[in-house]
Amino acid sequence: MLFHSRLRFLRWFRVVPLVIMAVLGLFSAGYKALPAKLTRQVIAPVPYPAQVADCAARHGVDPYLVCAVIKCESGWNETATSPVGAQGLMQLMPATARELAEFGLVNASKYDANNLHDPTTNIEYGCAYLAYLQKQLGSTDKVIAAYNAGIGTVHQWSSQANAESDFSQTISYPETALYLERVHLAYADYQRLWPEGIGA
């Protein structure tokens, strides 16, 4: 009797993974059969394509990166406010926006730094900030990490790296390491689902 019970258990033990694989296979096939427009809305939405394309081009940043940052920062919620006061789609601190305006990186007469819940204004300042980080840091990984942890922290991490080490291995904040991974995954989704470019 015990032998038969074990035999039944082993049969189920072998069958369950096969059933799971079959279900995942069906889900994957169904997912690929979904219209691209619907897939984009769920996985890689871009509620403000014209604003992203325009601001990214003006500041010389990758529109896919802009979309990935927005998705990870706020999930495209223009009214989002963090516990520390970051605002809007790209979760900018008002002080950072004011500095970007003072540096002349954003036209403050057209884009009010105190109006960060406005999508166009927020994307303008967010793109300007990404461009600034890009100019200071160079690598995309460092730009993404600095957007989350600050440019000073990234300079510290960079100073610890050597020629053989990957910059991502020097990140000591688990939140930033996870953020870097999330942005890369979102970036890949936007590239895959918007092959002709954002807004195309």
**Residue 18 in tokens:** 């096969």
Residue 38 lies in a domain: no
**pLDDT(74) > 90:** yes
Answer whether residue 141 is part of any domain.
yes
Specify the pLDDT at position 138: 87
- Kindly provide the b/e burial profile for residues 68-102, where b requires at least 16 CB atoms within 10 angstroms of the residue's own CB: bbbbbbbeeebebeeeeebbbbbbbbeebbeebbe
Give the total number of structural domains in the chain: 2
Report CA Rg, the chain.
Answer: 22
- Residue 164: pLDDT band (50, 70, 90) is low
Task: Give the other-Cβ count within 10 Å of 161's Cβ.
Answer: 14
- Same structural domain for residues 28 and 122? no
119 neighbors 125 (Cβ within 8 angstroms) = no
73 a catalytic residue: yes
Question: Are residues 71 and 25 part of one domain?
Answer: no
Annotated catalytic residue within 73, 78, 175, 196: 73
pLDDT by residue (tens digit) across 83-104?
999 999 999 999 999 999 999 9
Q: What mean pLDDT is predicted for residues 13-40?
A: 56
Q: How confident is the model at residue 28 (pLDDT cuts 50, 70, 90)?
A: very low
In this predicted structure, what is the pLDDT of residue 15?
55
Residue 84 maps to which CATH number?
1.10.530.10
Kindly indicate the confidence band of residue 38, based on its pLDDT and cuts at 50, 70 and 90. confident
pLDDT band at 29 (very low <50, low <70, confident <90, very high): very low
pLDDT of the residue at 198: 92
User: What are residue 138's phi and psi, to 5 degrees?
Assistant: 85, -75
Query: What pTM was computed for the model?
Result: 0.81
**Residue with tokens 């819940």, as numbered in its chain:** 117
Is 200 a member of any domain? no
Dig out the tokens for 26 from the structure.
């069906």
**Residues 186 and 93 grouped into a single domain:** yes
Verify that 93 and 149 share a domain, yes or no: yes
Are 88 and 175 found together in one domain?
A: yes
22 and 75 housed in the same domain = no
Q: Are residues 100 and 188 both part of a single domain?
A: yes
Same domain, yes or no, for 12 and 61?
no
Residue 40 lies in a domain: no
Domain that holds residue 173: 46-193
Asked if residue 182 and residue 127 are part of one domain, the reply reads: yes
Residues 143 and 173 in one domain: yes
Look at residue 79 and tell me whether its pLDDT is greater than 60.
yes
